Amino acid sequence: MFRHAYDHSYLPVLEAMERFPDIKFVLHNSGPLLEWYEREAPDYLERVRSLVDRGQVEVLGGAFYEPIICSIPERDAIGQMHMMSDYVEDRFGRVPRGMWLAERVWEPRLAKTISEAGLEYLPLDDYEFRLAGIEDEDLVGPYIAEEQGFAVRVFPISKRLRYAIPFAEPEETLEALRGVSEGGGGRVVVFGDDGEKFGVWPGTYDHVHRNGWLSRFLQMLTDNRDWIRTVTFEDVIDEVRPLGRAYLPTSSYPEMMEWALPTPARRSYARLLKKLESEGTRDEWGPFLSGGTWKGFLSKYGESNLMVRKMMRVSEKIATACRTSEMLDTLEEHTVPATTADGCQSIVEPDVLDRARRELWMGQCNCAYWHGVFGGLYLPHLRTAIYDHLIRAERLVESARGGRWDHVEVVDHDLDGRDEVILESNAVNVYVAPSRGGSIFELDVRNVDWNALATMARHAEAYHDEIPDDSDEACGDGVRNIHDALVLKEKGLEKLAGLDGNPAAAAVDHFYPSGVTRSDVESGCGDVGDFAAGEYEFERGRRDDTIGVVMRRTGRVDAGGAPCAVRVEKRVWLTFAGGARVEYEITAIEAMNAVFGSEWNLSFLSPEKEWARIGADGGEESGLRKRRAFEDAELVTVDDRLRGHRVTVRCEPAPEVWTWPLDTASHSEGGLERVFQALTLVARWPLELAAGESRSFSVELAFSELEGR
């Protein structure tokens, strides 16, 4: 992906900079991209340094791994900004004075954080200034934002230019600049946007480079140097006084704030914008419509919130280890390793702490935490990468404990007002939500740094309303703004739109009527019990030198028209082999005839047979996209060839197992597309019980290295 963007955008734009030495530019590259350049294209960095040395380019700093700064602990935000400043100074010979704020997600408190990190200024969207009541004609220079006396300069990015460049002809941009100049000299207009607009967005490579748009645009600026002066932010800071103070509200660019709204509110918001558009009053009233805020994604999508909570948990573990190390370093008589109450060593070596912190910061990269046209919450490889880094950071910071250990913690992990149970060991972590059906929502296999439940459920999205029934629209050609009308990448996506009844978790408990079909189960409409999302009582458990949680719920099952009372005891245990075992004891308080199902959603990066194969009891294997029904399946295996391990699902007694792919229909810059999210597996046992009669079942997950990878 980086290579494609480099060939189609980053390199051609750099070459254009070199061809037009009189035009100044400001450049920001993310830390992951800089690390890619180091490995794959070091010449790019040398060429940028040459432009910096001749005063043509200013390189901005920022937070190295592009987090949403307001969503991470301040200690990590400042640490990442220092890391980027050090890198820019080392590679380009100048300490950055300004920064790029990922997705321009601003909160007022950031003025203090950014100032304390040693940075002086940053660009934000003009929309954010308009929300503060600043008129368009006054958005022609920097303002001062402050928090508790800490100040930074903020520059408004012109939305008009952001939408015109590179889609409109250069002459249209020239006319826009001429209109600004009529107000007098010394006015500053900022264009700042994604480099991918110049060759990676659909149709833009031909338009911008092959058809010469960029060269014509830069030549136009060169030809009009008598009244247009291109400058860097640093030039402006040193030469132009700020226009005043600006107390900007929590905000981002308008599309982001619309995407962050809950779906019903987003539909209403879109209708209001269309109404104002039809009345010709959108420009007048638009500045007073702020939409949502970035943190709204954490309530809109439980999956995003769980990633943030995991990140916060790991960050605190690292911070605690750092504090412990610093405290013990101050003890003059410290001669033996400090130990925890259970006898494990508690000091983490400095180099290990540094590695853990770097992995944590990688896991804070913003892309997978939100969803819009760009955000990658629906993309499994991005979510998986976030968890990989966070689990690796956690494993590193706990490496000093050594040997075999386990730990149980009861805590409101996801901040929903109800406690979760976190089971941790040297081999596996299992996070259990008694209040959400006693389901397992995270299962970390430590030796491969993998969360087997890094899944994504189907969510109702506002853009699903635009999908026509039985659509067969192909993706269009030519240059276009990705905010234009929805483009469908395949037929049948309307079948994937909508809302799943429950999160795509594991050990989700269902009761079905005896004649239920797989299509009913797959569509989520066959459950006749109240256990899948019901609240279980719970207590910590320990047996056979392992830890677990014991949960109980008495609920109702309506399998034959007359609801009957059912009691479920559910026990979740860590296993010696580094997996998890779930045991059920189901008691009919009243006679019942139903089917019990335990649902598991397992995260794999590809459903194709080349990369992942499923089979049962040594029988025929297939890819994960094929719907399967395994009779009397004691042992179901999935070989994950991408990661090189095997997942084994052992059920007792042997049930019928149904499997199918969990797909979503999500919007990206390329259009609406199908995305494989997980393998759904449901183990099914028939239940015909008299009053007071019980049955027991179990499902155990184990993980092993795949031979002959």
Which positions are annotated as active-site residues? 103, 194
Cα–Cα distance measured from residue 103 to residue 22, given in angstroms and rounded to the nearest whole number:
29
Reduce the secondary structure of 391-402 to three states and give it as a string: HHHHHHHCHHHC
Structure-block tokens of residue 412: 């409101």
Contact between residue 293 and residue 260 where contact means Cβ atoms under 8 Å apart: yes
Q: Where are the alpha helices (DSSP H) in 363-498?
A: 380-397
User: Do 109 and 147 form a contact (C-beta atoms < 8 A)?
Assistant: yes
Q: How many CB atoms lie within 10 A of CB 21?
A: 12
Q: How far is CA 217 from CA 165, 168, 208, 379, in A?
A: 9, 10, 10, 35
> How would you label 669-695 residue by residue, b for 16+ Cβ within 10 Å and e otherwise?
bebbbbebbbbbbbbbbebebeeeeeb
Closest CA to 510 of 522, 498, 495, 492: 522
Q: Sort residue 376 into left (φ over 0), alpha (ψ -120 to 50) or beta.
A: alpha
Angle at 394 between CA 397 and CA 353, to 5 degrees: 30
Please tell me the distance from the alpha carbon of residue 116 to that of residue 110, in angstroms, as a whole number: 10
To the nearest 10°, the Cα dihedral for 616, 621, 626, 630?
Answer: -20
Phi, psi of 60 (to 5 degrees): -85, 150
Query: 570: which DSSP letter?
Result: E
Are the CB atoms for 497 and 460 separated by under 8 Å? yes
Report the relative pairing of strands 592-602 and 506-512 from DSSP bridges: antiparallel
Residue 681 contacts residue 600 (beta carbons within 8 Å): yes
Contact partners, residue 684, CB within 8 Å, separation at least 6: 512, 595, 596, 597, 655, 656, 657, 658
Tokens of 420: 């979760």
E strand residue ranges, 356-459: 406-411, 420-425, 428-433, 439-445, 450-451
